[in-house]
């Protein structure tokens, strides 16, 4: 599939877990994605963007995966696994309240074990049929294991040890014999033949599950191509502190400092982020170690994402230049919340949050940060082949980042309400660089309807409220009128959300000069549903599902009319 900035396109962002289909098991899977691809193609969208699909740990965040490569077993469509019959699925799910599981948000604590039981059943069937007779499927599986051994072997052992230690990925609480990959493999070699056979069977189970997942995802990529739809994946800047990567290759990570971002007005969701910033808890990289082997770990990430996606977005691409770093893990955030910098330094030996490797405080430091980012990104571009990189360059963006991305041919983000001229006026969409992605929001932000209604609520409250509400009102009017002006209309008075406002906002976005325009599915349907609140630990994060299946959207008169209306806007913009 050829994608070129000379041919602008429109796309949709939908987290896979949020998609529904008739026979899913409470979470979106590759079969639901196929249905969504069909629906997107029918409405003129030529791009589907997803969040990361790597296996998650116990916090279920796709941006805190336990592997930089391994796919999450929850994404597997189990009714498409050859070794798993409908009768076996029914036998395992008998007695479960599937209706409740399917209707509510993602119940990870129920869904993950359920899918694991079904995959275990499929694996046992594979062993007694294909593996025993060494048929074509068994030989294909063996080839997969050989080709993917560079990451798969260590991940399989890591995943087996998670199960052995009660489902906990916290390798720093495991016994010394399992403290890292080298030690764990050495210990395994000392076990009895019977124990080694037991481990071999367990390791093969993890490999089998990954084979099924990678097979389905490669097939989905081919299916998307057949429908004229490109898939855009996501490469998170970091991996979990408790990942197979940090466990197997500790020399590549600085496990004493933890990445995040500084305090930002837009993301002041709680007292800690307002004061200190966001502490994501991801270990930093030892860039010197990565440089020594030509960034092979990073190159592998791109090669594997390229297997199943046509485009890929690097989340927090600012981090490859410099990353805001904390000398404490997120578990200690509450301890540091009330402290001054001096008091915090007393607990950390004088270490305080700051940008590494350098602050952007001098021309020399800026040049060094820029050179580091350009060196890594150039290596990743070499691995892209015909594919393209997109960089999520939002937040406190240094002045050297966007020129660097343009030089390298990497599309950056354009969020209209944040793209301002020196005088504060919004930059017209017609002036956006062609090599860019325009969107009103990402998964971390309010959808446009929620944003609009927040403005109107602040204005309404101030009409009869005390003078203390006036500042919020004035701010709401400034932001609302600025965006309306960007879209080519005026808001002279309080204006409730309407189809007319919806159309004007989306028409203006589609009319920008950006190569890619991506709407969150919530923006297309004008709902206020939110998938994540950065910095917040909540059961509602990463668990919200869309209302209905794609078939339901076609049957629902209001939703069908909305989708048709937006599809007409997409076609009129020349992006279909």
From CA 436, how far away is CA 218, in angstroms rounded?
Answer: 27
Residues 444-452 have a mean pLDDT of 93
Residue 535 pLDDT exceeds 90: no
* 262 class by beta-carbon count within 10 Å (0-12 exposed, 13-18 middle, 19+ buried): middle
Does the bond joining 357 to the residue before it have cis omega, within 30 degrees of 0?
yes
Contacts (Cβ under 8 Å, ≥6 apart) of 170: 242
Nearest to 114 by CA among 144, 84, 137: 84
What confidence score (pLDDT) does residue 536 get? 61
Give whole-number Cα distances, 154 to 113, 170, 178, 248, in Å.
Answer: 22, 16, 12, 7
238-251 residue pLDDT tens: 999 999 999 999 99
From CA 69, how far away is CA 59, in angstroms rounded?
Answer: 18
What confidence score (pLDDT) does residue 532 get? 86
- Pinpoint the alpha helices (H) of 16-97: 30-42, 86-93
Length of the chain equals 576
Nearest to 52 by CA among 316, 278, 379: 316
What confidence score (pLDDT) does residue 133 get? 97
Give whole-number Cα distances, 6 to 83, 433, 435, in Å.
Answer: 45, 12, 9
The pLDDT confidence band at residue 85, using thresholds 50, 70 and 90, is: very high
Helix (H, G, I), strand (E, B) or coil at 70: coil
What confidence score (pLDDT) does residue 206 get? 98
What confidence score (pLDDT) does residue 267 get? 60
Q: Which residue has tokens 């629902």?
A: 556
Nearest to 106 by CA among 546, 481, 563, 570: 546
Residue 395 pLDDT exceeds 90: no
* 229 class by beta-carbon count within 10 Å (0-12 exposed, 13-18 middle, 19+ buried): buried
Q: Residues 267, 268, 271, 275: is their CA dihedral positive or negative?
A: positive
From CA 335, how far away is CA 346, in angstroms rounded?
Answer: 13
pTM score of the predicted model: 0.95
39-59 residue pLDDT tens: 999 999 999 999 999 999 988
314 in Cβ contact with 405 (< 8 Å): no
448 in Cβ contact with 441 (< 8 Å): yes
Count CA atoms within 13 Å of residue 471 on its CB side: 1
Residue 297 pLDDT exceeds 80: yes
Beta pairing, strands 354-356 & 323-326: antiparallel
From CA 516, how far away is CA 475, in angstroms rounded?
Answer: 30
The pLDDT confidence band at residue 346, using thresholds 50, 70 and 90, is: very high
Q: What are phi and psi of 417, to 5 degrees?
A: -70, -10
Segment (H or E) for 507:
helix 499-510
The pLDDT confidence band at residue 265, using thresholds 50, 70 and 90, is: low
Query: For the chain, what is the total number of helices (H) and then of strands (E)?
Result: 23, 12
Question: In the 8-state DSSP scheme, what is residue 25?
Answer: S
Q: Helix crossing, 363-384 with 296-308: angle to 10°?
A: 50
Nearest to 429 by CA among 495, 506, 497: 506
Round the average pLDDT of the chain to a whole number and report it. Answer: 95
The pLDDT confidence band at residue 268, using thresholds 50, 70 and 90, is: low
What confidence score (pLDDT) does residue 130 get? 97
From CA 573, how far away is CA 427, in angstroms rounded?
Answer: 20
DSSP β-bridge partners for residue 436:
412
Residues 162-170 have a mean pLDDT of 96
Residue 19 pLDDT exceeds 70: yes
60-82 residue pLDDT tens: 999 999 999 999 999 999 999 99
From CA 71, how far away is CA 80, in angstroms rounded?
Answer: 16
The pLDDT confidence band at residue 270, using thresholds 50, 70 and 90, is: confident
* 273 class by beta-carbon count within 10 Å (0-12 exposed, 13-18 middle, 19+ buried): buried
Contacts (Cβ under 8 Å, ≥6 apart) of 434: 5, 8, 513, 514, 515
What confidence score (pLDDT) does residue 2 get? 81
What confidence score (pLDDT) does residue 266 get? 64
Residue 223 pLDDT exceeds 90: yes
Residue 404 pLDDT exceeds 70: yes
At residue 128's C-alpha, the angle toward residues 127 and 134, to 5°, is 70
What confidence score (pLDDT) does residue 179 get? 96
Residues 199-213 have a mean pLDDT of 98
């Amino acid at each position: 599939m050829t994608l070129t900035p000379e041919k602008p396109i429109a796309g949709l962002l939908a987290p896979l877990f949020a998609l529904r289909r008739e026979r899913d098991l409470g979470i979106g899977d590759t079969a639901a994605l196929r249905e969504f691809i069909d629906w997107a193609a029918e409405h003129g969208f030529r791009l589907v963007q997803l969040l990361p699909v790597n296996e998650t740990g116990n916090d279920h965040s796709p941006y805190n995966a336990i592997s930089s490569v391994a796919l999450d077993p929850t994404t597997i469509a189990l009714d498409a696994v050859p070794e798993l019959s409908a009768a076996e699925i029914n036998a395992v799910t008998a007695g479960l309240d599937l209706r409740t599981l399917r209707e509510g948000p993602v119940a990870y604590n129920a869904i993950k074990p359920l899918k694991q039981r079904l995959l275990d059943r499929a694996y046992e069937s594979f062993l007694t049929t294909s593996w025993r007779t060494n048929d074509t499927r068994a030989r294909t599986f063996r080839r997969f294991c050989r080709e993917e051994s560079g990451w798969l072997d260590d991940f399989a052992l890591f995943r087996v040890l998670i199960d052995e230690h009660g489902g906990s990925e916290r390798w720093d609480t495991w016994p010394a014999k399992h403290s890292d990959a080298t030690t764990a493999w050495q210990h395994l070699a000392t076990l009895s033949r019977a124990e080694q056979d037991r481990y071999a069977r367990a390791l093969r189970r993890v490999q089998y599950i990954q084979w099924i997942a990678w097979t389905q995802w490669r097939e989905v990529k081919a299916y998307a191509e057949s429908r004229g739809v490109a898939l855009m994946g996501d490469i998170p800047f970091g991996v979990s502190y408790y990942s197979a990567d940090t466990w197997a290759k500790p020399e590549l990570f600085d496990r004493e400092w933890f990445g995040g971002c500084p305090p930002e007005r837009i993301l002041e969701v709680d007292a800690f982020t307002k004061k200190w910033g966001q502490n994501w808890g991801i270990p930093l990289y030892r860039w010197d170690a990565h440089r020594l082997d030509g960034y092979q770990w990073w190159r592998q990430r791109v090669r594997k994402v390229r297997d199943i996606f046509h485009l890929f977005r690097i989340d927090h691409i600012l981090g490859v230049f410099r990353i805001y770093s904390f000398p404490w893990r997120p578990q200690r955030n509450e301890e540091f919340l009330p402290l001054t910098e001096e008091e915090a330094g007393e607990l950390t030996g004088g270490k305080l949050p700051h940008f590494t490797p350098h602050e952007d405080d001098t021309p020399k430091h800026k040049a060094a940060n820029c050179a580091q980012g350009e060196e890594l990104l150039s290596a990743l571009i070499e691995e892209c082949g015909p594919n393209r990189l997109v960089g999520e360059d939002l937040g406190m963006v240094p002045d050297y980042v966007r020129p660097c991305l343009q030089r390298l041919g990497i599309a950056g983000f354009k969020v209209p309400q944040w793209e301002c001229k020196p005088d504060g006026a919004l930059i017209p969409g017609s002036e956006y660089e062609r090599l860019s992605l325009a969107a009103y929001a990402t998964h971390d932000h309010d959808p446009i309807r929620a944003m609009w209604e927040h403005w109107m609520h602040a204005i309404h409250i101030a009409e009869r409220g005390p003078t203390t509400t006036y500042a919020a009102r004035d701010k709401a009017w400034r932001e609302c009128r600025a965006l309306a002006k960007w879209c080519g209309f005026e808001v002279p008075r309080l204006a409730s959300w309407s189809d007319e406002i919806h159309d004007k906002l989306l028409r203006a976005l589609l009319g920008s000069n950006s190569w890619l325009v991506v709407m969150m599915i919530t923006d297309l349907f004008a709902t206020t549903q939110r998938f994540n609140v950065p910095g917040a630990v909540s059961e509602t994060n990463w668990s919200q599902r869309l209302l209905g299946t794609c078939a339901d959207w076609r049957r629902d008169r209001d939703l069908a009319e909305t989708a048709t209306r937006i599809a007409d806007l997409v076609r009129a913009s020349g992006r279909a």
